[in-house]
Amino acid sequence: MSLLSVRDLTVKFAMRDETVTALNGISFDVAKGERLGIVGESGAGKSITGFSLMNLISRPGFVDRGEILFDGEDVVKMSGKRLRQLRGDKMAMIFQDPMVTLNPVLTIGQQMVETLLAHRKLSREEARQIAIVKLREVYIPSPEERLDQYPHELSGGMRQRIIIAIALLLDPQLIIADEPTTALDVTIQADIMELLLELCQSNKVGLILITHDLGVVSQMTERTLVMYAGRIIEAGRTREIINDPQHPYTQGLINALPQQTLPGRKLRQIPGNMPSLTNIPPGCPFNPRCEYATDLCRTRLPEIAQYGEVQVACHEVQRLQAEGERQEQNA
Amino acid sequence: MKDMNVQTPLVEIKGLEKRFDLDQGFLETLRFRDGRFTRETRAVHAVNSVTLDVNRGEALCVVGESGCGKSTVARLVAGLLTPTNGEIHYDGTRIDDKSRAEMQPLRKKIQMIFQNPYASLNPRMTIRQALEEPVRHHYPSYSAAEVRDKVTEVMMSVGVDPSWAKRYPHEFSGGQRQRIAIARALTVNPEFIIADEPISALDVSIQAQVLNLMLEAKESRGLTYLFITHDLSVVEHFGTRVAVLYLGSVCEVADSATLFSNPKHPYTRALLSAVPQLKDDRPNHIRLKGEIPTPINLPQGCPFQSRCAFANSRCRSEKPNAIHQPDGSLVACHAVEEDRLDQDVIGV
């Protein structure tokens, strides 16, 4: 049985004059110890997905329908007390900006010990010892001294390591990392990603990595979901999706990267913008930007369905696959 | 552009230095040491003797991580900051010591595009007002109709419908705002554009649109760019030449093809290896020790020595000078000069 199973999750936000659907019937599973990437541009709903898994959606947002089964138990229906047991203990979250995630008026040690004492019957000294072990695991030099330091005394990369150490404190089964390295420099990003990968593999921890960076997803995850305007439009093994994307949006996203075009040539851009959630076009949400759109695409929403190795939500995918094969034969 | 003198660079930066004083008031400078008060001032050494040329018609990319001084270089060249030391020449004339009035005629030749299109457009001005203002200012002889025509022409060229001109910035998406910011730079017919991270606030599919626009403008208007970015894949695509900055000093300057195929400075190599690759299964990442030191107390010698695997006693005492390499690149590294970079170590 999978560790996490999301079924038909729909999240809405009640605005002043209308209700906006931020997530529209998304379903996916994460097996124990599996690493899943969620990619998309801003406004696609990837962060909302991450937040709703921990039941962190607060008003005006609400889960309209669907279920999030963690170890067979529905997170959406959990009581406050049960949620507190789950959060941090079974599931942990790493946020984007290490500069604002830590409490600036508490020392690193206080924040780590607090987390441990909230969940386990331990003495302060025992908790401190666990904190030191975890800091050592994320390669923090001289962890004993760090415990008495405040967040502002540490660099961004160091803080993100400490946040990872806090996420790992209670040996969770699943880590949700929402753009964990976007605020960091490339060399630091590479370090943090390597560390996260190593820890997930050695501790058999599941990882949901939310990012806009296809390169990061490609190196970190086994499976990938591509989101667009609150829906999953393509899902499958990361290798397949990167090497042979089926949905025109995924193809566009990969082709738009500068490394996919010869230097100085015109980049293959996707025209237009992601629709605003208040104004999603009828039919396939991607149809106004899609070069293959037909009348069917403009009127009927494509359901996500299995095509070969991957799941795709596109009416034209079979035609596109056939055309692709024909081109390959000709070449 | 061919008939112009290609030999002299459009912009010459010579020994540019910029320090920001941290302790500004008298009391802030007082320190209590060994039983008595002394006065000392601390300064952020943002840019340290940077020498660079920007040739006509090229796109010189300046790359580096946060705090390396790349934005400060851009602002110094644009005249938004005054250098502590060094000279900046534009088209043969020195510009860093000019007064505001003397700079006026040059301002329309040198334009800047900023990172955040949400902050760089005045929210209380319509797009038309924002775009007409620089034309009126720099071309006072233009009639209202001429100004309007110019703005319409530029809006069309950046792909923003001129009928939207009466709208306000908040009505546009980030990508459209960045187009408008580019349009504003283009309205005064500049020849040199300084772009400070112009696409890093945008989504991937929108980044491609804006980069294409900037490439088109380069071709059709014969522009020269100084392009500041941290994104190496953009550099490879957009830049004709690249300068790598670390802690306010230039590590390596090379043609972008040379830099990407054959990086020489240990920092450039580490930086290139850290970029997450799309199709490469095995990341071949060179791990750097520690993190970037603060630019307040600069280490003696090479700025990169504290994280460099090849640092020796010479690196710790003597700052390396940029030396020309056989393939035309400039590299400031003792290890490269002495040819003691071990290929095997790099490959691991």
Q: pLDDT tens across A167-205, in order?
A: 989 999 999 999 888 877 888 888 888 888 988 898 889
Q: How far apart are CA B324 and CA B335, in angstroms?
A: 14
CA distance A227 to A233: 6
Contact A180, A213 (CB under 8 A): no
Nearest-CA distance B95 → chain A (Å): 31
Dihedral sign, Cα of residue B291, residue A259, residue B157, residue B178 = negative
Give A-chain residues touching B208 at CB under 8 angstroms: 256-258, 267-270
Check: pTM over 0.90? Answer yes or no.
Answer: no
Split at pLDDT 50, 70, 90, the class of B10 is very high
pLDDT of residue A318: 86
Give the tens place of pLDDT for each residue, A99-115. 788 999 999 999 999 99
For chain A, say whether B28 makes contact (Cβ under 8 Å).
Answer: no
Q: How confident is the model at residue A96, as a pLDDT?
A: 81
B271 touches chain A (CB under 8 A): yes
Exposure letters A110-137 (e unless 16+ CB within 10 A, then b):
ebbbebbeeeeeeeeeebbebbbebbeb
Calculate ∠ Cα B188-B194-B195, nearest 5°: 110
CB pairs under 8 A between A and B: 116
| Residue B256 contacts A, CB cutoff 8 Å | yes
The pLDDT tens digits for B306-336 are 888 888 899 999 999 999 998 889 999 999 9
Higher per-residue confidence, B4 vs A207: A207
pLDDT given for residue B3 in this prediction:
46
* Chain B, nearest residue to A219 by Cα: B281
- B281 to chain A, closest Cα gap in Å: 6
Candidates B205, B12, B157; CA nearest to A275 is B205
* pLDDT of B2 higher than 80: no
pLDDT at B344 over 50: no
Overall average pLDDT of the B124-135 stretch: 94
At residue B292, does pLDDT exceed 80?
A: no
- The CA distance from A261 to B301, in Å, is 40
Of B206, B257, B271, the CB nearest to A187: B271
Of chain B, the end-to-end C-alpha distance in Å amounts to: 46
Q: Which residue of A has its CA nearest to B66?
A: A185
SS3 B161: coil
Cis amide prior to A60 (ω within 30 degrees): yes
Which chain A residues have a beta carbon less than 8 Å from that of B233? 257-259
* ipTM value: 0.78
Inter-chain residue contact B237 with A261, CB threshold 8 Å? yes
Residue B23 has pLDDT above 80, yes or no: no
Average pLDDT score over residue span A274-298: 90
Percent of chain A past pLDDT 70, that is, above it, reads: 99
Provide the mean pLDDT of chain B.
Answer: 87
Mean pLDDT taken over chain A: 90
Mean pLDDT, rounded, for A36-54: 91
Taking residues A7-23, what's their average pLDDT? 91
The pLDDT confidence band at residue B41, using thresholds 50, 70 and 90, is confident
Per-residue confidence (pLDDT) for residue B190, from 0 to 100? 94
* pLDDT > 90 in chain A, percent: 58
Measured distance CA(A23)–CA(A58) in Å, rounded: 14
Confidence of residue B77 (pLDDT cuts 50, 70, 90): very high
Token look-up 């987390």 returns A115
The mean pLDDT of A48-53, rounded to a whole number, is 92
Indicate the burial class of A217 (C-beta count within 10 angstroms; 0-12, 13-18, 19 or more): buried
Quick one: which of A43, A163, A42, A35 has its CA closest to A92? A163
pLDDT tens digits, B161-188 = 888 889 999 888 888 899 999 999 999 9
How much is the pLDDT for B7?
67
Q: Quick count: other Cβ atoms within 10 Å of Cβ A10?
A: 17
Task: List the 200-239 stretch of B: residues with Cβ below 8 A of A.
Answer: 203-209, 211-212, 215-216, 230, 232-234, 236-238
B14 in contact with A at a CB cutoff of 8 Å?
Answer: no
